[in-house]
Chains A and B, each alone.
Chain A
């Protein structure tokens, strides 16, 4: 295999120095002279109309600059999930709405010279409501006579998908299972923050935000303020984690509006409570899976129906449901498929984007089902999967595109061996024989995910690169690093191609003013799509440099070799020219700047097989489940940042265990209010709870990918929870699929077994 200079080497966080010293500024760390601070007032009704809102005391408080409510802000609709202006979206949100749809929805904002004063003024605002009937559960909201939360009702169906003819499959064994996933909070360590500054002399607005799509934010903000896009600049700031919570446009419209209105600079930083209640949560999902499988375990058909609780506004939820369907054929060969789904609005906090956008939900429901089926057929769950998995370059039937150079079999087989699956399974059987206090189980699950938008959206990725006069390089590409090292990945790609050392390359994050258009960094597309764009751009730049070198050295470019910043003649090594000299020659002799600008369109979407194996111990006295050991095997094509890939696996395991066992934001059935609004009551695995885990990265380069690299960031989550669920069920002989499997749920199941 080719030896790389920097690709595949460690030390992958570009900002590690700034982060370990506290020197790196996140959005909420920035203060400037004259900056104003915003705080929000939360509504207190489940559903109602604001009858009156009295801000007179608040505006009189010294230090208050403005108070915003539905009575003094534009009655303009926007959509948090929209990126491009051409998108058809629900458009249900306003800066402030008289119609309040969940407890905690913002009803007013105060801008003041300090956060304390703004907070104090919020308490002085008096709001009276005319309550409306409301619905908390999805079951209620779906009823014909349910109160309507939006004029078009509460239920939003997505188009069903059919391949083959599921109904007509006969002579097989039918199975059915239901799974439930609870609401979760992303728990990004940094709460949401945004800073906006209006420059009245230039009539320009700058917005600093730790977002995933600067162009999406710009589009929404510019249209809300009726400003030309060219006069609105959005700069991506370092973010303290996303996991999906920074994908949508949340704080930017309001912060920008205040900055524009006050012709100044305004900052809004969410509290943890606002972060939980007023961003979005992970959807709660109810799904029914039916399948038709031959007696020897070959899948003949699958049917999945799912229902997502969207919360009070539809936002991205209908798309989210269809994405679950679109991903249904990424792992197994299935000749007959049916999918249908719907999103249902309720008077509860909004649900929306979450890491993996459907992959973790889909995987949970399907893998729970396949584990059940394998058990019922008496087939080992790994053997069952080996009979059904996609082979490399199979076509997935939803979008009819190749799944690429994927290795599901190797993931399962290598994982089985490394995890000592067969021995451990036997150990569990022995350990459980005596029915003692602790029961042991093993579980496995398999998943995949996307590496680009292709083909459901044209994947546009653009890069500009310009060689500087000293031979160093500046690259502009609209990358949004979530903190997982994507800036370094792209920089390594640029360095690998140009052989310019990493420390001489500047590659900053997305900025609408210096970068060309990009939809944003989600769908795990950054390395595959943006990476290919950077690679192509740098290759073309080096072609230009080679031409200039040949002209300067008066030779044919074919005889020139390139190494570490110098072109030279192989036969006559003293005939040489450095990048710095080429730049000078180009500018001073030929009168041309050395730069390149390319747009690439990913024309494939390789899958990323991921198998997770886990070993758990369930305490039958307390109902508490401990993950003792686990292993994730990932087919990544090529790990550009292997250390960050392994790091992300750890984070996926932490979130997946949380999803399976403990993390849930419960909703008050009487009011729709979130019952957990702080860190204290949200159960999340800490350093003591987290098991030791192993990671295997399978690296067989993907063709047409940057140095063979595919995605990793989201798929790490997908197989974890269903593997844990399977292990618990294996330990106890249960069929639990209503998550999370908290001690109470497990004790109840044990009670029912008696």
Chain B
């Protein structure tokens, strides 16, 4: 099928197999390997991307569902050489260890902060409940989200 969508803010048109997993399309066809596969069944969150403002599991989504939509992957967050507030906060708060969950985690948080710029601790926990991290115990991640939310509201 011919697929029209925006990728990290830029319009794209491509001929693709709409039944392919969105994760494979992103990694293999778009060559964007920042999105990871941890389980292939929507349980670990490593493959999270943002489609039309919602954090979704790209391993459970078909590429055809992207048609007419707006897709953001981790590669799109750094703009003009400047990191997104969430990325900066992850570095500042030492929320990055092995890093394999980080792309998905950041995308879940991106979707959260778009809808809810001032989340409570409970809302933060719920937003990343589907993103499993084995390295940090989540404390640094939660702190990074609060840091990012604060930085974002300062910018505004």
Binding site for B on A (CB under 8 A): 10-13, 15-26, 28-29, 31, 186-191, 238-241, 243, 271-272, 482-485, 643-644, 646-655, 678-680, 684, 686-688, 690, 692-693
Contact = CB atoms under 8 A, between A and B. Distances in A.
Given A188-B98, A485-B97, A693 B139 contact: yes
Given A644-B97, A687-B125, A189 B74 contact: no
B132 to A, nearest CB: 6
Given A20-B106, A647-B140, A688-B126, A187 B134 contact: yes
A23 B34 contact: yes
Given A21-B87, A690-B138, A13 B97 contact: yes
Contacts of B40: 271-272
Given A189-B38, A189-B98, A241 B134 contact: yes
Given A243-B134, A650-B139, A679-B43, A29 B33 contact: yes
Given A21-B78, A22-B74, A189-B44, A650 B101 contact: no
A21 B77 contact: yes
B137 A651 contact: yes
B139 A19 contact: no
25 contacts: A10-B94, A11-B92, A11-B94, A15-B96, A16-B90, A20-B99, A22-B73, A187-B134, A189-B36, A189-B38, A190-B36, A190-B98, A243-B134, A271-B40, A272-B38, A272-B39, A272-B40, A483-B98, A483-B99, A483-B100, A484-B135, A650-B135, A650-B138, A655-B134, A693-B139
Contacts of B37: 28, 191
Nearest to B94: A643
Contacts of B78: 21
Contacts of B136: 647, 650-651
A599 to B, nearest CB: 29
Contacts of A21: 34, 74-75, 77-78, 83, 87
A22 B35 contact: yes
Interface in B1-57: 27-28, 32-41, 43-44, 46
B133 interface: yes
Given A21-B74, A22-B35, A647-B136, A686 B97 contact: no
Contact of A644 (B92, B94, B131): B94
Contact of A189 (B28, B46, B95): B46
User: Interface SS of chain A: helix, strand, loop or mixed?
Assistant: loop
**Which interface residue of B41, B98, B136 has the most chain A CB atoms within 10 A?**
B98
Interface in B76-124: 77-78, 83, 87, 90-92, 94-103, 106, 124
A686 B130 contact: yes
Contacts of B135: 189, 241, 483-484, 647-648, 650-651
Contacts of B46: 189
Given A650-B138, A692-B139, 14 more contacts: A17-B91, A20-B74, A21-B34, A21-B75, A22-B74, A189-B46, A189-B101, A190-B100, A238-B98, A483-B98, A647-B137, A654-B137, A654-B138, A686-B129
B149 interface: no
Contacts of B134: 186-189, 241, 243, 651, 654-655, 684
**Nearest 4 A-B pairs (CB), nearest first?**
A22-B34, A650-B137, A483-B98, A240-B100
B71 interface: no
Given A11-B91, A190-B36, A680 B43 contact: yes
Given A19-B96, A647-B140, A688-B126, A25 B41 contact: no
Nearest to B97: A483
Nearest to A12: B94
Nearest to B127: A687
Contacts of A653: 137
A578 to B, nearest CB: 30
A717 to B, nearest CB: 11
Nearest to A239: B98
A655 B75 CA distance: 31
A610 to B, nearest CB: 15
**Which interface residue of A241, A484, A649 has the most chain B CB atoms within 10 A?**
A241
B91 A241 contact: no
